[in-house]
């Protein structure tokens, strides 16, 4: 096999955490994510011969080489299916790619609920757009990534992760209105208020293709149908969900309706220049809703939230699709280490895997590096 040519460019796309707004995207609701400083990079070079070749520095010694004409029927599984899905989606939409070689390198923790898969998809999507000069908008990039994950990988996600990875800007949270397809930047400078957003990766990887995520999506659709609306976004009063006879569907709907309200309240507080500490209890309420009504938390996530709150966090909640992953805790900037130690001590006491922590700083969306 010939040596991979030098890359013609390197592109990067970030992971994300939601300040608030989980499972609202596929319900036409609202969310408020930030992009992380951790990114996935994609070094890309045009090639001839009608093939795509993918390598990853996180998977040394593994090289995937597939003919472009055979991508629709490819049986490749695992990490390489995400970039292949993006290439396939470009081709399916009629864009011309004569051949391409991709090398991935990722710093977004995998399985931590921080959208590592979307970071892969968006880094590849923007690389292909720029490399081949394809007439693709940011909206198209987001939809290409979503389609790759839904149809090619098999995870029934919405567009939240890809939207955050493409549209976020440094120093801001991104307000997303999925029903109207609109977005806006919301100032989010915790450092100026003497605060920090601590991410705790519980080291319990989740897999959205395992079925729990898709089941929740179906339950939300059934709940909307029971209420006679097209999506749960149309319901703005949690009292209305009491009309749903099925107790499971009633709980699912209550989370979505209340979560939309939490997003709007947090966004309004931040836009108005209020003290960010005020959003802490809203974050904690969001965790309770995900734990009790949406039922996607885990003992590790609950323990991390409880430990952070006991250590003085203003608020804490799980983030991402659930069934594992990470939490965020809104803390005083000088409480980073004590909070991390408190969570680690709780995990040792519970005999859980050792957690990993870092401070999340609102960062830029997908862009060309070189």
- CATH number of domain containing 334: 3.30.70.890
**Domain boundaries, position 106:** 8-185
Residues whose CB falls within 8 Å of the CB of residue 183, separated by 6 or more in sequence, listed in order = 163, 167, 174, 175, 176, 177
Strands lying side by side in the sheet with 356-359: 315-319, 326-332, 195-201, 356-359
Could you give the dihedral angle defined by the CA atoms of residues 127, 131, 132 and 133, in that order, rounded to the nearest 10 degrees?
90
Task: Report the largest interatomic distance among the alpha carbons of the chain, rounded to a whole angstrom.
Answer: 64
Are both 15 and 150 inside the same structural domain? yes
- What DSSP string describes 204-261? ----GGGSHHHHHHHHHHHHHHHHT-SSGGG---GGGGGG-SSHHHHHHHHHHHHHHH
The encoded tokens of residue 239 equal 């009292």
Are both 158 and 201 inside the same structural domain? no
Give Cα separations from 26 to 23, 158, 198, 220 (angstroms): 7, 5, 27, 9
Are both 280 and 355 inside the same structural domain? yes
In a domain? residue 367: no
Distance of CA 5 to the CA centre of its chain: 32
Q: Are 119 and 18 in contact (CB under 8 A)?
A: no
Are both 164 and 200 inside the same structural domain? no
Residues whose CB falls within 8 Å of the CB of residue 16, separated by 6 or more in sequence, listed in order = 33, 34, 35, 36, 114, 115, 118, 161, 164, 165, 168
b or e along 3-20 (b: 16 or more beta carbons within 10 Å of the residue's beta carbon)? eeeebebbbbbbbbbbbb
What is the pLDDT tens value at each position of the chain, 370 positions in all?
A: 444 554 799 999 999 999 999 999 999 999 999 999 999 999 999 999 999 999 999 999 999 999 999 999 999 999 999 999 999 999 999 999 999 999 999 999 988 889 999 999 999 999 999 999 999 999 999 999 999 999 999 988 889 999 999 999 999 999 999 999 999 999 999 999 999 999 999 999 866 656 788 899 999 999 999 999 999 999 999 999 999 999 999 999 999 999 999 999 999 999 999 899 999 999 999 999 999 999 999 999 999 999 999 999 999 999 999 999 999 999 999 999 999 999 999 999 999 999 999 999 999 999 999 9
Are both 232 and 295 inside the same structural domain? yes
| pTM, to two decimals | 0.94
Tell which residue, 60, 108, 105, has the closest CA to residue 83.
105
CATH number, residue 120:
3.30.230.10
What angle, rounded to 10 degrees, do the helices at 280-292 and 299-310 form?
160
Are both 198 and 313 inside the same structural domain? yes
If one counts the domains in the chain, the total is 2
Tell which residue, 188, 169, 187, 167, has the closest CA to residue 177.
167
Tell which residue, 347, 349, 342, has the closest CA to residue 308.
342
Residues whose CB falls within 8 Å of the CB of residue 266, separated by 6 or more in sequence, listed in order = 19, 20, 32, 279, 282, 283
**Residues taking part in catalysis:** 161
Are both 201 and 180 inside the same structural domain? no
Tell which residue, 100, 20, 106, has the closest CA to residue 68.
100
In a domain? residue 368: no
Element (H, E) at 173: strand 172-177
Q: Are 182 and 163 in contact (CB under 8 A)?
A: no
CA-CA distance, 236 to 214, in Å (whole number)? 24
């Amino acid at each position: 096999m010939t040596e991979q040519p030098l890359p013609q460019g390197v592109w990067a796309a970030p992971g994300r955490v939601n300040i608030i707004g989980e499972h609202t995207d596929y319900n036409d609701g609202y969310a408020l994510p930030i992009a992380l400083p951790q990114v996935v990079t994609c070094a890309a070079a045009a090639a001839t011969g009608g093939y795509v070749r993918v390598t990853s520095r996180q998977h040394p010694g593994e090289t995937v080489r597939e003919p472009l004409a055979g991508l629709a029927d490819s049986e490749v599984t695992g990490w390489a299916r995400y970039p292949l899905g993006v290439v396939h989606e470009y081709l399916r939409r009629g864009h011309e790619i004569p051949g391409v070689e991709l090398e991935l390198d990722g710093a977004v923790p995998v399985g931590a609920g921080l959208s590592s898969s979307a970071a892969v998809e968006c880094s590849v999507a923007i690389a292909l757009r720029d490399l081949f000069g394809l007439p693709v908008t940011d909206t198209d990039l987001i939809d290409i990534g979503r389609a790759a994950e839904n149809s090619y990988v098999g995870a029934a996600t919405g567009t939240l992760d890809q939207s955050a990875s493409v549209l976020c800007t440094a120093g801001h949270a991104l307000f997303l209105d999925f029903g109207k397809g609109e977005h806006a930047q919301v100032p989010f400078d915790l450092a100026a208020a003497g605060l920090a957003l601590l991410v705790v990766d519980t080291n319990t990887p989740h897999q959205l293709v395992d079925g729990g995520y898709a089941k929740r999506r179906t339950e939300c659709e059934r709940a909307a149908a029971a209420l006679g609306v097209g999506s749960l976004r149309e319901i703005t009063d949690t009292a209305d969900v009491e009309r749903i006879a099925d107790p499971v569907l009633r709980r699912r709907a209550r989370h979505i309706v209340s979560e939309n309200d939490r997003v709007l309240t947090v966004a309004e507080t931040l836009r108005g220049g209020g003290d960010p500490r005020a959003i802490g209890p809203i974050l904690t309420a969001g965790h309770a809703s995900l734990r009790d009504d949406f039922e996607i938390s885990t003992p590790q996530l609950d323990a991390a939230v409880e430990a952070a709150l006991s250590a003085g966090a203003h608020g804490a909640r799980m983030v991402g699709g659930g069934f594992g992953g990470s939490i965020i805790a809104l803390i005083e900037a000088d409480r980073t280490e004590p909070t991390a130690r408190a969570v680690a001590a709780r995990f040792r006491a519970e005999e859980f895997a050792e957690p990993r922590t870092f401070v999340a700083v609102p960062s830029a969306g997908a862009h060309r590096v070189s």
